[in-house]
Amino acid sequence: MVLQSPDLDVADRVGAVQFALRADARRNADKIVAAAGALIAEHGADASLEEVARRAGVGSATLHRHFPSRQALLEAVFKDRVEALCAKADDLLAELAPGQALTTWLHAVGAHAVANRGLGASPMRDGDPAPGETCHVLITAAGDALLVRAQAAGAVRAGITIAQLLKLVGAIALATEQEIDGPAEADLLLSIAIDGVRAH
């Protein structure tokens, strides 16, 4: 006869509780990042952390436990959005013609930059560490894959680099972020600029 350890059920219960706590912590972190992203779009990087906590439905202590500084929260918001942009680039590579895929993605990057009220341009500047060199590397790699394919298809002029295109998008975002119709103006200016990089 095999005897079962009396501690087995206890260990299982402890493991289940720990898993539930980790899942709850992950949900709280996700809610905080989502709330911060919405507030940054409305008020910029100086958005109130207390308001972030209120919108996320958590206490200030919970917010600071996940994100001990404003910079840590800003980096989390930006990294989350950059990862979404990179995923979009992968989808566009598979779905659209090369030139259209690059154009669509650059407009998405422009909307992202405008929504981040100044944060969007930061990782596009060479050597700027905020809000994270990792974001800069990710977004550059995603855009470069689209650009290389567009140039190979003859849809974009040779000699243009993804760094130049991202700086252009960032400059447009910064130039329009204080305007009432900033997103629409940025989209229009980007359309004009993109027309200049097409192969003629």
For the chain, domain boundaries = 1-68, 77-200
Closest CA to 160 of 188, 123, 189, 199: 199
pLDDT for residue 23? 81
| pLDDT tens across the length of the chain (200 residues) | 444 445 546 555 545 545 555 788 889 899 999 998 888 877 777 788 899 999 999 999 999 998 988 888 888 887 888 888 999 999 999 999 999 999 999 999 988 887 776 554 444 444 445 545 677 888 999 999 999 999 999 999 999 999 999 999 988 988 887 777 778 888 899 899 888 888 76
pLDDT tens readout for residues 113-145: 877 765 544 444 444 455 456 778 889 999 999
> Average model confidence (pLDDT) for the chain?
81
pLDDT for residue 125? 41
pLDDT for residue 14? 47
pLDDT for residue 15? 57
Domain 77-200: CATH superfamily, name plus number: Tetracycline Repressor, domain 2 (1.10.357.10)
The amino acid at residue 165 is L
pLDDT for residue 132? 55
Phi, psi of 23 (to 5 degrees): -65, -40
Q: Which fold has domain 1-68?
A: Arc Repressor Mutant, subunit A (1.10.10)
